Structure 1
Amino acid sequence: MPVLGHTQYGKAEVRVVRLFRDTDPHGIADHNVSVALSGDFADTHLSGDNSRVLTTDAIKNTVNAFAKEHGDAARTPEMFGLVLARHFTELPQVARARVNLETYPWRRLDAGGVPHPHAFARDGSHVRTTTVTRTADDAEWVVSGIRGLTVLKTTDSEFHGFLTERYTTLAPTDDRVMATEVTAQWWHGTLPDDPDAAHVAVLDALTSAFAGHHSLALQQTLFAMGSAALTAVPGIGEIRLSLPNKHHFLVDLSPFGLDNPGEVFHADDRPYGLIEATVRRDDTPDPGDAFDPGQGW
């Protein structure tokens, strides 16, 4: 006999752009918000009784209204996610609210060498991600992150001494191009007072570690990057990193009578190696539902 398992529902990808005109220079926050609610909603599946269902249209309207009513919170995705999650878990039928945000950075334009007070350009280097989860018993988890940050170093990367067997064809190297597209998620054991500053600090730590680390394997560089993030922001309990190899293969130019001493490469997007790991403090508590399969990477 069929039985109902876990359910959740909500509104996905509510795109809200909040301008801050009350200060000079102006500010901008650009969020893509998805909300998922779970709890006592079995009747709508089993009998069509919708009396406990908050409409997804109301969820969308709440996101937009809160961008106005909670303007200070809307400046940062972590705080905006928290006020939304706290609101939705006030409904007695909601056992858990999860708010996912993608935040698109903008940078201020210059005019005559001076930052313009109200002109911006989209910064396409990465997308800032945030997931806030709250339960009806007031447990909260805030997970910040980035995705789509492509980084490359032209040297200081080796890969050798690996296992060889019948199907191994890769040649060892002591000098290679190393490139990856960083996806990172870090769980705040303690939410910082200034989430924006913490985000910048983690981003700087990740990129500085990538640049400055002499790599014997992407796995080793991943651990160095994660360790640097934990050092930069003490309130982070753990960070998860997903680093796909963005392979660059040296092009054979010998048919044309040309030497190619590590100058001309072919960038190949697949298949690719995929390196993933968690770096956590040895004394950090288990984050529990912060990284459950509903969110995972």
Structure 2
Amino acid sequence: MESSWPWQFVTVSNEEKIHRRELLDLRGAFAQWSVMLVIVLLRVTYQGWKSISQTNRGADQPRAPISWWNRPPKNGWLETRKQYAVCGLWLSWLTGLSVWNSGNDYLHLTKALGHVALSQIPLQVLMSPVAYISTSKPSAPSIFSFLTTVPQGTITPYHRLFGRVVISPLLFGHVILYLSFFVQSSHPDFGSLLEKRVQDLDVQCGLTALAATIALLFYVRPRGSAKKGIARAWAGGSMQDRRRTFYYGHISLVVLLCVAAYFHVAQAQKYMIQSLGAFVLNGVGSWIMVKYGN
């Protein structure tokens, strides 16, 4: 590695390896506990804002124009500048958490990026609008919406951006740094360590997870015309049919990502099990809301 780059390939003892593993677990815990803190803050602040709005709703008032902050950064985009900024701040927090206490250990930083990214997948699942294809109540709240009392329509854009702006960059950073390490490291039998590692199951699972992540970035939900975008490749059928096709395709890619991550490294398994539990909990909660909720 070049001397200007602060992280280097270093050799660590067994005791240092144990310490680094403990730091990785601590990062994952911090990342997930920060989510719990956000849920509490959102519930308190949203309830306070809602109470003030109801108090001031007495007289008819003209609706305020949409601010620059609440407009998309580009025409045709679905999410607003505020939503991008919030996800960007969360990415900054998680990146800082990955860098924290990594010293000059290149591989420790590399593992930290992937570890922190995977710790956020349960949150991504809890925010998902699982009633998306429901004909009666497609905007039924997710578990995250239920816990924070924020409407699902407000949370869904963050669910979309969270995968693109937060989780994906961290995973890409993890993969790029690891591949760079493999390319720069030699192997006595294969020449390059990359040639050896791509034949190992754990790396193959990691590359599969990467492929699923890339596919999710381009597999966007259908909007109006079915003539553009990978997710709109089907031209026939009603909008409900296209929404259903997208939903099942999206879920399949997420399952592929989670299964590949589960077999990629043992430390990812607890997060993938949490994601499965979040999916079941979110699905059951949404079904109850659709069937019995107002």
More helix by share: 2
Q: Which has the larger radius of gyration?
A: 1
Q: Which category describes the TM-score, using the shorter chain as reference length?
A: under 0.3
TM-score by length of 2: 0.26
TM-score by length of 1: 0.25
